[in-house]
Structure 1
Amino acid sequence: MINYILNKAFYALLTLFGVVTVIFFLFNVLPGDPAQMMLGQNEDNEQIAAVKAKYGFDKPLSTQYLYYLNDVSPISFHSTNSEDYTFLSEGKYSAMSLFTLGNTTTVIKSPFLRESFTKQGKKVSQVIGETLPNTAVLAVSAIAIAIILGIIFGIISALYKDKWIDKTIQVFSTLGMSVPSFFSAILFAWFFGFVLHEYTNLEMTGSLYELDDFGEQTHIKWKNLILPAIVLGIRPLAVVIQLMRNSLLEVFNQDYIRTARAKGLSEFQIIKKHAVKNALNPVVTAISGWFASMLAGAVFVEYIFGWNGLGKEIVNALNTLDLPVIMGSVLVIALLFIIINIVVDIIYGWLDPKVKLE
């Protein structure tokens, strides 16, 4: 287990290095001057020059790349010269000094994702910290809907194979996989939030936290979670139904299931004690991929429903070319992908003892 985690950690670092490299060069070849974006309409030549010197925009792209690696790395090197970009100024971030060699100090720190171009110097880590929990709540709710309903309908579909109820479930699951999330979001928002608003009491748009009518206090509105969670959970729900049905049908043909039936166990006992756990392996693998992708793929759903999550923040950052927010968000999502995959591999090994983690 320890060797497995160490190997995964090594490959995770390589993956993150690749992600950092790709997103840096991808977004830094876009047209536009970052210094002008940060200053807005009030810039002059002196201010632009000062901002470029402060953030290292006046350096060659290769040097800026090394600066960015230094910022996001937990172990980084900083100049003792206050005029250099790498100077560890007070308030930039907390760091623990390891040693100083000449004019360079080596420190341990939390990754620095820089500051937003459009939010008056607000740190990207703060922006992500304020929006990621909302996306996590939405993703967990959506995957919970997909898991619970998907397993239930998958079992029903397998038990009534080729009957009308099985065919009906298959039609709806196929339809759920075929319809794009943004179209489902528009349809659900209009139908349940507008047409049937009198009966559902649901809004077309709204986030988890909303201000009251006086703008003084923030309240949690759980009802705003219902529609986006259902829409985001439709596609993984359809996948879980299909996988659970097919996996369960395969398990039903195993010898130990026949033995259990020969012993007189009821169908409910067979499913509960023997069939479901063994049929969950492909489901767990699929769920892990869907859960990770939800953190990145909730962009359209959040934007349409006005859900103040990371996806909506990414859209806003793309519209304003707020590159640090975009790059930081992509990097965090990539890290979450890696963590989730490691956790799922461990769960997979627990479900199936024949799988060895190496």
Structure 2
Amino acid sequence: MVGYVLQKLGYALLTLFGVITVIFFLFTILPGDPARMMLGQNETAEQLAVVKKKYGFDQPVSIQYVRYLNDLSLLSFHSKNPSDYTFLAEGKYNATLLFSVGNTNVVIKTPYLRESFQKNGKEVSAVIAETLPNTFILAVSAIVIAMIVGVLLGIISVLFKDGFIDKAIQLLSTLGMSVPSFFSAIIFAWVFGFLLHQYTHLNMTGSLYAVDDFGNGKYIQWKNLILPAVVLGIRPLAVVSQLMRNSLLEVLNQDYIRTAKAKGLPFYQIIKKHALKNSLNPVVTAISGWFASMLAGAVFVEYIFGWNGLGKEIVNALNTLDLPVIMGAVIVIATLFIVINIFVDIIYGWLDPKISRQ
């Protein structure tokens, strides 16, 4: 089991290294001169030189790449020279000095995602820390909706197998998996937030926190969570519904179910006490994968509904070419995706020793 865990962790580190490499070269080579992006259209040659020196843009791409890895690494090397890009200012980062070699300090620190181009030098980690919790709340809410409604629809489909209700649910599930999230978001915002606003009292746009009109600070507006959570949960809901139906039908054909029927147990009791629990395994497997992908899939949903999460921040950063925010957000999402999948793999290996021996 230990070897299995180490193998999975090794694959995770290689995958993350590949993601970081692709992200760096994609957003360093293609967009153009990052110094000009930071200064705008009225820069001078002196200003460009200062910015390039400060952020290391005056170095070859290979040197910039090594420095970027150094910034992200937990174990990193930093110059003692204040004029060097790798100089570690005291108190600026959460770092612990291990030892020094000549003019270089070797430290353990938190990953440094650099500073935003457009937010007056605000650290990317601070931007992500402010927005990621909102995205997490949205993703969890969407998963809960998908699980509850999807399982119920799957059970109803089995109860009315091959009937009108069953076919209608399958049709809706197919549509749910086919329609893009951004299109569903526009439709839901227009219908429930505009046309039916007087009945639903839901807003077309709005985030988790709203500012009080009388200057009493912020307050939580839970109703703004309903529409984006429903829209984000449509696709996993459709998948859960289909998986639940197929899994439940398969379980109902098992011998112990036939025995229960022969004993005269009511059909709903058979489903409730015997078939339902054993039918949830593929559903749980699917949900574990969907939750990680939702963090990335929330981008357009958040932007359309004005939900102040990481997805909306990524779109805003793309519009303003705020490359450090884009790169940092993608790396954080990729890391969460990898961590969740590795955790699920380890749980599977623990539950089924055959997997860990493969």
Which bin holds the TM-score, normalised by the shorter protein? over 0.9
Cα distance in 2 for residues equivalent to 1:287 and 1:355: 22
Q: Hey, what does 1:141 align to over in structure 2? A: 141
Once the 2 structures are TM-superposed, how far is the Cα of residue 355 of structure 1 from its aligned partner? Answer: 5.5
Q: Is the 8 A contact 1:209 1:219 kept in 2?
A: yes
Matching residue's letter, 1:256: Y
CA-CA distance at 1:349 after TM superposition: 5.6
Match of 1:182 in 2: 182
What does residue 123 of structure 2 align with?
A: 123
Question: Do structure 1's residue 300 and structure 2's residue 300 form an aligned pair?
Answer: yes
After TM superposition, the structure 1 = structure 2 runs for residues 33-182 of structure 1, keeping only pairs within 5 Å, are 33-41=33-41, 43-182=43-182
How many percent of aligned residue pairs carry the same amino acid?
A: 75
Corresponding residue for residue 228 of structure 1: 228
Q: Is the 8 A contact 2:5 2:346 kept in 1?
A: no
Q: Show CA shifts across 1:33-63 (max 9, x none).
A: 2112223355322221111111100000000
Q: 1:199 to 1:347 in 2, by over 3 A?
A: farther
Task: Decide whether aligned partners of structure 1 residues 216 and 32 sit closer, same or farther in structure 2, where only a CA change above 3 A counts.
Answer: farther
For residue 254 of structure 2, what is the aligned residue in structure 1?
A: 254
C-alpha distance in 2, partners of 1:221/1:257? 47
Q: Deviations over 1:65-94 (max 9, x none)?
A: 000000001111111222221111134311
Contact preservation (8 Å) 2:113, 2:328: yes
Instruction: Provide the C-alpha distance between the structure 1 equivalents of 2:265 and 2:109, rounded to a whole number of angstroms.
Output: 59
- For residues 103 and 194 of structure 1, what CA distance do their matches in structure 2 show? 63
Report the secondary structure of 1:241's partner residue: helix
* Separation of aligned partners in 1, 2:206 and 2:354: 44
* Segment of structure 1 superposing worse, 154-163 or 62-71: 154-163
Question: Contact (CA 8 Å) 1:348, 1:355: kept in 2 or not?
Answer: no
In structure 1, the partner of 2:340 is 340
SS in 2 for 1:100: strand
Q: What amino acid maps onto 2:50 in structure 1?
A: A
Structure 2 unmatched runs, 5+: none
Task: Say how many residue pairs are matched.
Answer: 357
Counterpart AA for 2:271: I
Please identify, of 279-288 and 255-264, the stretch whose mean Cα deviation from structure 2 is larger.
Answer: 255-264
CA distance in 2, matches of 1:216, 1:48: 43
Name the SS for the 2:113 alignment partner: coil
- Distance in 1, matches of 2:356 and 2:262, equals 35
Helix, strand or coil: the match of 2:106?
Answer: strand
CA distance in 2, matches of 1:165, 1:154: 11
| TM-score normalised by length of structure 1 | 0.95
Comparing 271-280 with 97-106, which one deviates more in the overlay? 271-280
Q: For the structure 1 residues 2 and 87, does the alpha-carbon distance in structure 2 shift closer, same or farther, using more than 3 Å as the test?
A: same
2:225 alignment partner AA: L
Distance 1:122 1:214 in 2: 29
SS in 1 for 2:58: coil
| 8 Å contact kept, 2:188–2:231 | yes
Q: Give the Cα–Cα distance (whole angstroms) in 2 for the partners of residues 146 and 228 of structure 1.
A: 13
Q: Measure the CA separation in 1 of the matches of 2:26 and 2:324.
A: 12
* 1:242 is the counterpart of 2:242: yes
Partner of 1:284: 284
* Structure 2 counterpart of 1:10: 10
Separation in 1 of the partners of 2:40 and 2:279? Answer: 57
- Is this contact kept in 2: 1:281–1:348, CA < 8 A? no
> SS of the residue aligned with 1:298?
helix
Gaps of 5+ in 1: none
User: Closer, same or farther in 2 for the Cα pair 1:105/1:124, shift >3 Å?
Assistant: same
Deviation of 1:346 (Å)? 4.6
Offset at 1:276?
2.4
Task: Please state how far the C-alpha of 1:236 moved relative to its aligned partner.
Answer: 0.8
- Distance 1:274-1:3 versus aligned 2 partners, 3 A rule: farther
SS at match of 2:203: coil
Q: Is this contact kept in 1: 2:114–2:324, CA < 8 A?
A: yes
Tell me how far 1:254 sits from its aligned partner.
1.5
**1:266 Cα deviation (Å)?**
3.8
- 1-structure distance, mates of 2:264, 2:2: 43
Contact 1:251-1:275 within 8 A present in 2 as well: yes
**Matched letter for residue 74 of structure 2:** P
Equivalent position amino acid for 1:213 in 2: D
In the alignment, is the contact (CA less than 8 A) between 1:285 and 1:348 conserved in 2?
A: no
Q: For structure 1, which segment, 234-243 or 283-292, has the greater mean C-alpha deviation from structure 2 after superposition?
A: 283-292
8 Å contact from structure 1 (residues 204, 305) kept in 2: yes
Is the 8 Å Cα contact of residues 284 and 348 (structure 1) preserved in structure 2? no
2:208 matched to which residue of 1? 208
Q: Any idea what the Cα deviations from partners look like across 1:108-165, whole Å, max 9, x if unmatched?
A: 1111000100001101000000011111111110111000110111111122210121
Aligned-partner Cα distance in 2 for 1:53–1:69 = 18
CA contact (8 A) 2:98 2:106 kept: yes
Aligned AA (2:55): Y
- Give, in whole Å, the separation in 1 of the partners of 2:312 and 2:347: 31
1:23 equivalent in alignment to 2:23 = yes
1:326 to 2:323 alignment? no
Determine if contact 2:9/2:342 at 8 Å carries over to the other structure.
Answer: no
From the superposition, tell whether residues 42 and 216 of structure 1 become closer, same or farther in structure 2 (CA, over 3 Å): farther
Which stretch shows the higher mean deviation, 69-78 or 101-110? 101-110
Equivalents in 1 of 2:36, 2:268: separation in Å? 66
Aligned residue number for residue 272 of structure 2: 272
